[in-house]
Amino acid sequence: MTLSNTSSLPTTPEERLFQPVRLGRYTLPYRIVMAPLTRSRAHQPGNTPSHLNALYYAQRASAALIVSEATQVSMQGQGYAWTPGIHSREQIDGWRNVTNTVHEAGGLIFMQLWHVGRISHPALQPDNMLPVAPSAIKPSGEAFIENKNGKGEMVPFVTPRALQIEEIPYIVRQYVRGAKNALISGFDGVEIHSANGYLLDQFINSHTNRRNDEYGGSVENRARLLLEIVDAAIEIWGADRVGVRLSPLGTFNDISDDNPEATFGYIAEKLNDYPLAYLHVINPAAAALESGATPDPAALRMLKLIREKFHGTLILAGGFDRETAEAWLQQDKADLIAFGRKFLANPDLPERFRTRAHLNAADQTTFYGGSAEGYTDYTSLAQEL
């Protein structure tokens, strides 16, 4: 499949941002990806995508690839109020409306499959049960729940329940169901969310995984659940429509690892066993890149290691503007660059980059929850004429 949503975006030899690239079975016309963005605007009750969500994604269909907001594979997998799921018939129908609308606008969209693990709260869990995790270690920070008045509220995290080894196949089945439902919903592929301190990242990192069975201890064991889920997703989609997201050196949601280069170097190399559509990495140098500071040498070593170990298509996300994205592509540090907040506020971001137009500023007060304000009311260049 070759997308045709970029007829107004000519390729120029000197700009890699606007050169085509292969991603699994797809040929993308340029290298500007819309990163997954949690917006907490699923319709209630039921955490179902609505017509408003379909409009939001269709407005951004000029992205070479859209990766959907993180979408919980089960009720157990939910960690924030008003986030969408992919485990009910109503959710499938809602997402089918989203994918149809995106495809009509010429776009390509993958679903990000998500289980938050310990980054949840009994208020979000079925029957007010404890969240689950590889080990019973309480994270620092607070959960975002809906209170009795229907408003968003921050409450302290609780100590999760450690998964029994007999429950691990059930976790895999949750991802299998999510992957199958994403296919039914009309998505073009799936991304397995293994980043940002959520369940699969909790298994990967030594700080949150203190298990002494076949899912803990060595890096091979800590990566086992991720690889089992990759295998399962490939059975449904084929490897060339499956991506994986990682956050090496990430600290979000109280995560860390004793030897991150060994851990993520192993995973990046192991993923070569599967001809995946891509590996999507959250840039550990994002904060420095965004502020113009010199990146930490450890972050640069990690990025170099991932690039050397993983031989497939690499997407980097975090901290980029037009100039730094182009520079990193020119230096072959990545094959595509994903943008989050810039796409949030600029639905026609590729056109703005192509013409070097001004960018809308993102309104942080409307990031999570609400309706159209700060969601579908950002203007395109055409609307500003």
pLDDT at 257: 98
87-91: average pLDDT: 98
Q: Read off the pLDDT of residues 22-43 as tens digits, 9 standing for 90 and up.
A: 999 999 999 999 999 999 999 9
pLDDT at 384: 86
The reported pTM is: 0.95
pLDDT at 1: 35
97-106: average pLDDT: 98
Share of the chain above pLDDT 70, in %: 97
Residues assigned a catalytic role: 198
3-state per-residue secondary structure call for the chain? CECCCCCCCCCCCCCHHHCCEEECCEEECCCEEECCCCCCCCECCCCECCHHHHHHHHHCCCCCEEEEEEEECCCCCCCECCCCECCCHHHHHHHHHHHHHHHHCCCCEEEEEECCCCCCCHHHCHHHCCCEECCCCCCCCEEEEECCCCCEEEEECCCCEECCHHHHHHHHHHHHHHHHHHHHCCCCEEEEEECCCCHHHHHHCCCCCCCCCCCCCCHHHHCHHHHHHHHHHHHHHCHHHEEEEECCCCCCCCCCCCCHHHHHHHHHHHHHHCCCCEEEEECCCHHHHHHCCCCCHHHHHHHHHHHHHCCCCEEEECCCCHHHHHHHHHCCCCCEEEECHHHHHCCCHHHHHHHCCCCCCCCHHHCCCCCCCCCCCCCCHHHHC
pLDDT at 385: 73
Mean pLDDT taken over the chain = 95
Q: Read off the pLDDT of residues 273-291 as tens digits, 9 standing for 90 and up.
A: 999 999 999 999 999 999 9
pLDDT at 300: 97
350-361: average pLDDT: 97
Q: Read off the pLDDT of residues 54-72 as tens digits, 9 standing for 90 and up.
A: 999 999 999 999 999 999 9
Q: List domains and CATH numbers for the chain.
A: 16-384 (3.20.20.70)
pLDDT at 179: 98
Share of the chain above pLDDT 90, in %: 95
